[in-house]
Amino acid sequence: MKQLIDQNWLQEHNAKQEAAVISDYNALAEKLERSGIKIDTILEQAKQFTVAVPSWGVGTGGTRFARFPGKGEPRNIFEKLDDCSVIQLLSQATPAVSLHIPWDRPKDPSELRQYAEQYGLHFDAMNSNTFQDQIGQEESYKFGSLTHTNKAVREQAIAHNIDVVELGQKLGSKALTVWVGDGSNFPGQQHFKNSFTHYLDSIKAVYNSLPDDWNMLLEHKIFEPAFYSTVIQDWGSSYLAAKETGERCLSLVDLGHHAPNVNIEMIVSRLAQFGKLGGFHFNDSKYGDDDLDSGSINPYQLFLIFNELTDIRVQDPSYSPFYMLDQSHNVTDPVESLMYSAAEVQRAFVKSLLVDRNALTQYQEANDAMMAQASLKQAYNLDVEPILQMARLQAGGAIDPVSCYRASGYRAAVAKARPADPNKTGSGIV
């Protein structure tokens, strides 16, 4: 399979909307010009912006209660890449894919790499998996993996992570994301200090096998699958582990992994200040780790996070954390959600570029709370859709990815090509 949606057809589809985009873009250009902002500079940055797509995100997600599969779900990593190529073609913001091992383990890594490259795709951070048992696995992760009381289990988990790094090297990846669900469901079940000590030892063992140009990203999470305590429960534990482990060991922030009410943009700032902000899993949430589409619940929070990131990059333009989407698409077509979400993240990024930082700094220094907040809102309230549309248009993507995707008939085509397994039900596991 090569290009799944025809480029010519795509251009024709765009053509109908082009005049409106240009008109809106020019009106916005004029408006920004009045504030001394050249829209082309912003457009250029919008075009450079990318966020990785999770391989597991192109299948339908679910809860412990049930999974309701969609049509034409990809059955292997190659079909997943087919879907990812469509997302990248239309959104022009997602050239990288983040793999999950063993789910995506290829027989022949070079074949997989070539398959991706024909689509112009490459591989972002690799994800290891020690929160599930695989058939034939020696030791069980029921009571933990990198932090297990039993050394044999820890060693198996370490070996798996090292294995994922080796695979990732063959695929051209440059980072390993480590998330463990290790923790406990009862007070007393786990010795907090011993568990964390085991974690540190295990992480260091993995880190020692890391190539020099790789980063290791530690992902924290307050709860689930452990419901009383989680070993890497917050940014404090994540920071300590990254600090203890080494320079290229960094913290990864998933937007849905915090306690209620926590100020995430402040955590972003703290980790960056101490040199430990390595990357993001973007999604949104209202209650827990809901893995909803990025910006779907609280788009202002997403903007505030990018406001921090842009502020950091003003000081250090070379700063470049890993950006990944990590969402569970239970009620939408995953391709649509990932395209729409990539654009939402891009929207927050673009708006953050429009903040008048000199003015903001002066308001902050003068404790002019009203105008400081107003200068953020001034940027946030702008409608930057024309910039996003123009960026996609000029890059060869779709002005409106979702409507274009629907018009393409892609889902119906893969639904035929990928018949569902009639023996599989969507039953959860409660």
Using CB under 8 A as the binding rule, the residues of this chain from 229 to 248 that contact its own copies are 229, 233-237, 239-240
| Backbone φ/ψ region at 29: left (φ over 0), alpha (ψ -120 to 50), beta | alpha
Q: Smallest distance from the beta carbon of 169 to its own copies, in angstroms? A: 26
From candidates 139, 155, 265, 356, binder to its own copies by CB under 8 A? 265
Non-local (6+) Cβ contacts of 173 within 8 A are 99, 123, 124, 125, 126, 214
In the region spanning residues 316 to 355, those forming contacts with its own copies, defined by CB under 8 A, are 328, 330-333, 336-337, 340, 347
Q: Smallest distance from the beta carbon of 380 to its own copies, in angstroms? A: 8
Per CB under 8 A, 314 contacts its own copies: no
Task: Give the C-alpha distances (Å, rounded to integers) separating 290 from 62, 88, 297, 322, 328.
Answer: 10, 25, 11, 21, 8
How many CA atoms lie less than 13 Å away from 396 in the CB half-sphere? 8
Task: Give the C-alpha distances (Å, rounded to integers) separating 345 from 50, 293, 307, 392.
Answer: 9, 10, 12, 14
Per CB under 8 A, 285 contacts its own copies: yes
Q: Helix, strand, or coil here: 57?
A: helix
Structure tokens belonging to residue 366:
């003068």
Nearer of residues 20 and 159 to its own copies, judged by Cβ:
20
In the region spanning residues 44 to 83, those forming contacts with its own copies, defined by CB under 8 A, are 56, 61-68
From candidates 11, 320, 364, 394, binder to its own copies by CB under 8 A? 364
DSSP 96-118: EEE-BTTTT--SSHHHHHHHHHH
Antiparallel, parallel or unpaired: β 183-184 and 229-230? antiparallel
Nearer of residues 21 and 210 to its own copies, judged by Cβ:
21
Per CB under 8 A, 157 contacts its own copies: no
In the region spanning residues 81 to 110, those forming contacts with its own copies, defined by CB under 8 A, are none
From candidates 360, 391, 398, 399, binder to its own copies by CB under 8 A? 360
Per CB under 8 A, 182 contacts its own copies: no
Number of residues that bind its own copies (CB under 8 A): 123
The dihedral through the CA atoms of 268, 273, 274, 277 has a sign that is positive
Q: Smallest distance from the beta carbon of 8 to its own copies, in angstroms? A: 26
d(C-alpha 100, C-alpha 55), whole Å? 7
Which of 104, 94, 286, 96 lies closest to 174 in space, CA to CA? 96
From candidates 248, 299, 313, 418, binder to its own copies by CB under 8 A? 299
Cβ atoms 89, 397 nearer than 8 A: yes
Q: Smallest distance from the beta carbon of 266 to its own copies, in angstroms? A: 5
Q: Smallest distance from the beta carbon of 141 to its own copies, in angstroms? A: 7
- Among 4-12, 90-98, 116-124, 266-274, the segment contacting its own copies (CB under 8 A): 266-274
Neighbours of 361 (CB within 10 A): 14
Per CB under 8 A, 151 contacts its own copies: no
d(C-alpha 330, C-alpha 59), whole Å? 9
d(C-alpha 18, C-alpha 26), whole Å? 12
Per CB under 8 A, 114 contacts its own copies: no
From candidates 18, 223, 313, 411, binder to its own copies by CB under 8 A? 223
Nearer of residues 2 and 34 to its own copies, judged by Cβ:
34
Per CB under 8 A, 143 contacts its own copies: yes
Query: Which stretch of DSSP H or E encloses residue 229?
Result: strand 229-230
Q: Smallest distance from the beta carbon of 77 to its own copies, in angstroms? A: 16
From candidates 141, 199, 323, 410, binder to its own copies by CB under 8 A? 141
